[in-house]
Structure 1
Amino acid sequence: MPRGLDIEAARRQTFQHSVNTGEVGRLLEGRLTMPPHAEWQLPHEPTWTEDPFQDRNWCFQFHTLRWLEPIRRAAAKGDAAALSMWLHYTEDWTTKNPRRNPASTWAWVDMADGLRAQQLCLGIPLVSEHAPEQLPWLEYSIRDHAEHLADPKHVGKANHALHQAESLFVCGRVLGAESHWELAARRMSSLLKEQYDEQGMNAEGATAYHYNNFLWWERALRRFDAEGLPRPDGAERHLNAPEQIAHATKPDGYLVSIGDTDTQSPQKIAHQHTDYTTSNGTRGAAPEQAVAIYDAGYVFARSGWGDDDRPYSEQTYFTLRFGPSRRVHGHQDGTSITYSSSGVNWLVDPGKYEYGSSTPRLHVISRAAHNVVTVEGRRLLKDSDVELLRRDITPRHHDYVLADPSFDRVSLTRRVIHSVRGEYLVVIDEISGPRRLTAEQRWQLGPEVEAEAVNRSVALSSGNQHAMLWFDGESADVRTVRAQDDPFDGYVSVGWKKLAPATAVIVRKKGARLRFLTVVATGGESQPAVERVQTVSRDDVGLLVTTSHGTEQITISPDDVVFP
């Protein structure tokens, strides 16, 4: 028996045992599918430089060897063909990809190294039972991976570092190497405090990655439980994530598409709040508050959690972004707004699409693709930090003011007022600089939303539901764009490398000092309406707004909001 292999530790660290016979059968036939990618015929003798789809994510997944997990499970239950396949490809990878001269540059990239190390460690029990003569090379490879993972120069960032630390912990336990698993525990503790603030919000800048990280951390921390060891210091921080993820879930049951987030529902979290938001309120329990503001840069607000008169799925929901613009999976989206109501996602963020530098990817991560103001000809400061200056929440209205320093020598503020009774938004953007400016305010509509310009407004519809973007001022140039390829615009991402045509409304103004006054309102099965009304002070804004919830007058002064 090779020295130091703890087979029982490997068994304790194996959490999944079920076998998908269909998936195993396809793999045994060489039919490899690594979602979201198409099926590919796996060669018996790969070079490990294969890249059939010219896709970096596919190459990354190929070298994790996690696609062998269904085969490992089948082999552990006595499937001889599965055992032969698992041994063949793991040993072949090990032989052809030594650390100092691997066949592929993807072989030892961060995170792939860790995920692969876990697969090798979990293979110890089946190899010891069914092919013990194979244990020497397997142990050598695990030790090689552990040394690589322990070296600080190979540690990645954010969730990549998590997967590496988790894998180093597993390696340390199966090798009986206390120095390795204790190092992993220290790294996880530091990472927990770096990636989760005291409110428990994850730092990666995307709702999908807040969800993913919760699942990944749950698995990683469970490994300590399996060994009877205390969880790393800081582990309590991520326990608030389910409630936050519930707030980040729209009334349709899907995560709001902030940052690198496409269509995704947080159904894998076993928690009362996410159960509620993913089941249209039929299971679990709603959070106590309908408004949640997180210091990491998120406002999540909704009209309610559903009742007998109005189901959860019909509630109004909006989000507002602030905070630092540079995040691992975040976009240049400071001050961006999303808005859903009556079962329609009227205003959306553009999604993820893929990773890399394709034209669609560069578009969806850009500031110009989000519901913000962009200033032409001024340098965009990529390290800007949008500050939430005001957050007044009353039973009658919300009032948020943000300062956006994203453009060099430009003062840009956004004020967002939400009427609790009318469920509409009033957005006031003010821009000034040392010389004449040209600015564009963008509103990205959901794919299902149709738009028609009518006077100073854009009428929106989806099925029998209606909404409106109303703009004040005669000097504004309003245009729409949809499914435009050159320059690329008018699309949103709805999945991996999947785009849907989606209209964007763009309002353009020029001047030394600019103000965009916009109302976002819904009318149910009727068109909403907005009118300007006179006010006593020239500094105030008076509006008469008609929505599906009735007609109300609102007066907005620099420091207050009243409903005469």
Structure 2
Amino acid sequence: MAPLRALPSHRGSRRRVAWGLSATFLVAAITMALLTTVTPAHAATADFQCLGANGLGYSQGNTPTNLMAGKLTIPGFGVTTIGTGDIDFVGLNRGKDPTWQLWFNSLKWTEPLIASYAAGQRGSATYLNRAADIARDWVGTYPESTPGTLPGWNDQATSLRSETLACLAKYRSDAWLLAALDAHGRHLANARNYSGDWNHGLEQNIGLLAVSCLRDNAAWQQVAQDRAHRALVTTIDPQGVFNEQAPGYAPWTMTRWWTLDDVLLGCGLPSLPDLQARMAAMAEFLAAATQPDGKLVQIGDTYAESVRSDVASQFPHTLYASSLGTRGSPPAAARIVYSAGYVFSRSGWGLSRPFGSESLTTLRFGPRRYAHGHFDHGSLTMYARGQRQLVDAGHYGYAAGAYRSWLISPAAHNTLTVPGVPLRTYGVSTLTRSAVSAMGEFNEVSDDAGTSGGAYQGLVRTRGVYLLPNAAAMVVLDRTNASKLRWMYTTKARRKVQWWHLDPSFSVAYASRSRITAVSPAGNQITVLAVPFPGETLPAGTLRAVRGATSPYQGWVSTAQGSRTPAVAVGRTTTTSRMLTVVVPAARGTAVAGSMRPFGTGWVLDLAIGAARYAVKVSAGGSLSR
């Protein structure tokens, strides 16, 4: 599901909503707790409205006037004519993008009609009746079922729709509406329908709490409480990394945890212990994951966006990163390793140079792919010299197909691939070695899972990365070990391809078997240098540049929903068990050269970048140092 765009802040001291036994007061209280636009101080107020989601309200054109005219806007998908009479939910759902279907079936877009009535606007009784008619049409179209019939009973849509029905029930007590609330409560409480501990499960808990408090069902409340207590610990680790493997989902998830906490308090239930500490830690993770351009690095299903302001503004380090160092305060650490699978290394926080002139490199490792993660173990990204250099191919949306499959595959990331061998989707990787000094930083990642070996049917991939200060260059040593490879893949595993995805602003200026240099309008160049070990030669075609290919997909970058831009991808092919590659960001026209020579039991890489000279030691065991 796409992260939401316009939710209130939920942080600071909270004022509990006193709950009585009156059914009328119960309805009012749950609506206030769940659907109010709350100030950070959480002052209780009788002037409230439904909590919009994903910009489906006035900000996206879903005014009561437009809705009454039969015009619906789902953000990112334009205007759809739904008519002014009975709504053909089945027909309108047919063939639509999964994200469009999710928000359409959530009924969140009807909340401006309800909010208008709540505000006492002239003629708004007609609006309320229209909202009820739409909800009744949906209820008649999709009867209660387990497992749920898609797309109507999609887990996320059902959770959000439960909140909308609770909002409507503040002003309507129709038998069909109360029956629908009970149906949604039964559905959400059923363990067979629980989607697990991630943002979909979180939303299910919010919806179940809303319905259970409204219908005074203590058993449902307990189910939601128990799930929420467990999920807080399992989805967000003590370092603030949540389990969905996409930084772009963290801000949205934070707002929903705050919403769940508000509903708990509104129901007269205790707040979640450790919630604020986990939220603060997650905010630190977001600061670390923010590039020097103020946008989150695209890892997993993340769009090229900044942390939403209603989250960033509440945490000084996150605010500092997203505001390009103009507000808030800088974090202390420039290099942070998260045990869940991230290394963030930056040159600084804009204290000795302009914030936008800092560099940031990232390295991925960790548990198997989950939720919004990609098959990106060992992948690197780089921001330097005022722009993105190496990028993840990005996130396009959730429409199934060849492009989505490619985007989440290793070939869409800056990592080593084995095209002829099936990838194990349960592969893991670990950060095996690290060393940091004033001369540079070394990190090593391996996907060796023990007796089963690596993700490519047992072939173990080990990547060593040496980063020169200020991201002057990145030296990458990829090694493979076939001792655990399944025998039937022996021949197919010989060919390996290392991919480097460049920001779409770059175009190739020079290409040979050993070097590809691309330039950007910003006056930068990036060079991918294939350096042979002594005694080895590079065959023709070692390096190649691909841009905008579709069969198979390669050389694309997606930064927003539905956006797809051709971009240079550099592939290095080898049939050996090791290869050393250097990636150098520099000013346009800078000369770059490198060669290897023996040194003791290992080698030395002699690297020239303009007038600068570097010697990087490569040990026989794969460590890199200076």
Normalised by the length of structure 2, the TM-score is: 0.83
For the pair 1:470 / 2:529, whether they are aligned, the reply is yes
Q: Please give the alpha-carbon distance, in whole angstroms, between the structure 1 residues aligned to 2:148 and 2:319.
A: 45
For the pair 1:223 / 2:280, whether they are aligned, the reply is no
- Change in CA separation of 1:534 and 1:96 when aligned onto 2, cut-off 3 Å: closer
Q: Please give the alpha-carbon distance, in whole angstroms, between the structure 1 residues aligned to 2:156 and 2:401.
A: 23
- The residue identity in structure 2 corresponding to 1:291 is R
Q: How does 1:243-322 map to 2 (within 5 A)?
A: 243-268=284-309, 269=311, 270=313, 271-307=315-351, 310-322=353-365
In structure 1, which of residues 31, 35, 48 is the aligned counterpart of residue 75 of structure 2? 35
In structure 2, which of residues 216, 223, 232 is the aligned counterpart of residue 176 of structure 1? 216
- The residue identity in structure 1 corresponding to 2:466 is I
Asked if the contact 1:303/1:423 (under 8 Å) is kept, the reply is no
Asked if the contact 1:258/1:351 (under 8 Å) is kept, the reply is yes
User: Bigger CA drift: 14-23 or 78-87?
Assistant: 14-23
Equivalent position of 1:130 in the other structure: none
Asked if the contact 1:47/1:103 (under 8 Å) is kept, the reply is no
Asked if the contact 1:524/1:547 (under 8 Å) is kept, the reply is no
Q: Please give the alpha-carbon distance, in whole angstroms, between the structure 2 residues aligned to 1:439 and 1:421.
A: 30
Asked if the contact 2:591/2:608 (under 8 Å) is kept, the reply is yes
Asked if the contact 1:272/1:285 (under 8 Å) is kept, the reply is yes
Equivalent position of 2:386 in the other structure: 343
- The residue identity in structure 2 corresponding to 1:161 is G
- The residue identity in structure 1 corresponding to 2:605 is G
Q: How does 1:300-449 map to 2 (within 5 A)?
A: 300-307=344-351, 310-404=353-447, 405-420=454-469, 423-433=472-482, 435=490, 437-449=494-506
Asked if the contact 1:535/1:542 (under 8 Å) is kept, the reply is no
For the pair 1:492 / 2:530, whether they are aligned, the reply is no
User: Bigger CA drift: 6-15 or 154-163?
Assistant: 6-15
Could you say what secondary structure the match of 2:259 adopts?
helix
- The residue identity in structure 2 corresponding to 1:330 is G
- Change in CA separation of 1:547 and 1:324 when aligned onto 2, cut-off 3 Å: farther
User: Bigger CA drift: 229-238 or 38-47?
Assistant: 229-238
For the pair 1:553 / 2:602, whether they are aligned, the reply is no
For the pair 1:521 / 2:584, whether they are aligned, the reply is yes
Asked if the contact 2:368/2:425 (under 8 Å) is kept, the reply is yes
1:67-112 residue CA offsets vs partner (Å, 9 max, x unmatched): 1122221221122332122121112222332214999632222121
For the pair 1:147 / 2:147, whether they are aligned, the reply is no
Same amino acid, percent of matched pairs: 28
For the pair 1:510 / 2:510, whether they are aligned, the reply is no
User: Bigger CA drift: 533-542 or 323-332?
Assistant: 533-542
The Cα of 1:218 is off from its aligned counterpart by 2.1
Equivalent position of 2:548 in the other structure: 483
- The residue identity in structure 2 corresponding to 1:71 is L
- The residue identity in structure 1 corresponding to 2:531 is D
The Cα of 1:487 is off from its aligned counterpart by 2.2
The Cα of 1:223 is off from its aligned counterpart by 2.2
**Tell me, which stretches of 5 or more residues in structure 1 are unaligned?**
128-133
- Change in CA separation of 1:504 and 1:102 when aligned onto 2, cut-off 3 Å: closer
For the pair 1:192 / 2:232, whether they are aligned, the reply is yes
1:448-496 residue CA offsets vs partner (Å, 9 max, x unmatched): 1112344421112111112211110232511111011222221111222
Asked if the contact 1:214/1:238 (under 8 Å) is kept, the reply is yes
In structure 1, which of residues 97, 105, 124 is the aligned counterpart of residue 142 of structure 2? 97
The Cα of 1:374 is off from its aligned counterpart by 1.1
In structure 2, which of residues 47, 50, 58 is the aligned counterpart of residue 20 of structure 1? 58
Could you say what secondary structure the match of 1:261 adopts?
coil
Q: How does 1:100-115 map to 2 (within 5 A)?
A: 100=145, 105-115=150-160
Asked if the contact 2:295/2:305 (under 8 Å) is kept, the reply is yes
Could you say what secondary structure the match of 2:290 adopts?
coil
In structure 2, which of residues 106, 111, 136 is the aligned counterpart of residue 64 of structure 1? 106
- The residue identity in structure 2 corresponding to 1:263 is A
Equivalent position of 2:42 in the other structure: none
Asked if the contact 1:472/1:517 (under 8 Å) is kept, the reply is yes
1:397-427 residue CA offsets vs partner (Å, 9 max, x unmatched): 2111111211124232100111125632110
Q: Please give the alpha-carbon distance, in whole angstroms, between the structure 2 residues aligned to 1:206 and 1:253.
A: 17
Could you say what secondary structure the match of 1:324 adopts?
coil
For the pair 1:167 / 2:207, whether they are aligned, the reply is yes
User: Bigger CA drift: 186-195 or 105-114?
Assistant: 105-114
Q: Please give the alpha-carbon distance, in whole angstroms, between the structure 1 residues aligned to 2:340 and 2:146.
A: 42
Q: Please give the alpha-carbon distance, in whole angstroms, between the structure 2 residues aligned to 1:199 and 1:258.
A: 18
Could you say what secondary structure the match of 2:211 adopts?
helix
Q: Please give the alpha-carbon distance, in whole angstroms, between the structure 2 residues aligned to 1:229 and 1:142.
A: 21
Normalised by the length of structure 1, the TM-score is: 0.92
- The residue identity in structure 2 corresponding to 1:194 is T
For the pair 1:120 / 2:165, whether they are aligned, the reply is yes
User: Bigger CA drift: 536-545 or 292-301?
Assistant: 536-545
- The residue identity in structure 1 corresponding to 2:27 is I
In structure 1, which of residues 132, 136, 155 is the aligned counterpart of residue 175 of structure 2? 136
Q: Please give the alpha-carbon distance, in whole angstroms, between the structure 1 residues aligned to 2:571 and 2:469.
A: 27
The Cα of 1:547 is off from its aligned counterpart by 6.0
1:223-278 residue CA offsets vs partner (Å, 9 max, x unmatched): 22444532234534343101101111111111111111122211231321221122
User: Bigger CA drift: 40-49 or 216-225?
Assistant: 216-225
Q: Please give the alpha-carbon distance, in whole angstroms, between the structure 1 residues aligned to 2:221 and 2:383.
A: 46
Q: Please give the alpha-carbon distance, in whole angstroms, between the structure 2 residues aligned to 1:547 and 1:562.
A: 21
User: Bigger CA drift: 264-273 or 16-25?
Assistant: 16-25
In structure 2, which of residues 605, 608, 611 is the aligned counterpart of residue 542 of structure 1? 605
Could you say what secondary structure the match of 1:521 adopts?
strand
Asked if the contact 2:555/2:566 (under 8 Å) is kept, the reply is yes
- The residue identity in structure 2 corresponding to 1:295 is S
Asked if the contact 1:521/1:547 (under 8 Å) is kept, the reply is no
- The residue identity in structure 1 corresponding to 2:140 is T
Q: Please give the alpha-carbon distance, in whole angstroms, between the structure 2 residues aligned to 1:421 and 1:149.
A: 51
For the pair 1:452 / 2:509, whether they are aligned, the reply is yes
Q: Please give the alpha-carbon distance, in whole angstroms, between the structure 2 residues aligned to 1:172 and 1:422.
A: 54
Equivalent position of 2:27 in the other structure: 7
The Cα of 1:532 is off from its aligned counterpart by 2.3
Could you say what secondary structure the match of 1:494 adopts?
coil
The Cα of 1:117 is off from its aligned counterpart by 0.6
- The residue identity in structure 2 corresponding to 1:144 is A
Q: Please give the alpha-carbon distance, in whole angstroms, between the structure 2 residues aligned to 1:313 and 1:12.
A: 41
Q: CA RMSD in A?
A: 2.4
Could you say what secondary structure the match of 2:438 adopts?
coil
Q: Please give the alpha-carbon distance, in whole angstroms, between the structure 2 residues aligned to 1:534 and 1:97.
A: 70
**Tell me, which stretches of 5 or more residues in structure 2 are unaligned?**
1-20, 38-47, 50-56, 448-453, 484-489
Q: Please give the alpha-carbon distance, in whole angstroms, between the structure 2 residues aligned to 1:387 and 1:13.
A: 41
Greater strand share, structure number: 1
Q: Please give the alpha-carbon distance, in whole angstroms, between the structure 1 residues aligned to 2:235 and 2:274.
A: 10
- The residue identity in structure 2 corresponding to 1:260 is D
Could you say what secondary structure the match of 1:407 adopts?
coil
- The residue identity in structure 2 corresponding to 1:145 is H
- Change in CA separation of 1:556 and 1:388 when aligned onto 2, cut-off 3 Å: same
Q: Please give the alpha-carbon distance, in whole angstroms, between the structure 1 residues aligned to 2:423 and 2:390.
A: 24
In structure 1, which of residues 31, 48, 55 is the aligned counterpart of residue 97 of structure 2? 55
Q: Please give the alpha-carbon distance, in whole angstroms, between the structure 2 residues aligned to 1:36 and 1:194.
A: 32
Asked if the contact 1:468/1:527 (under 8 Å) is kept, the reply is no
Equivalent position of 1:461 in the other structure: 519
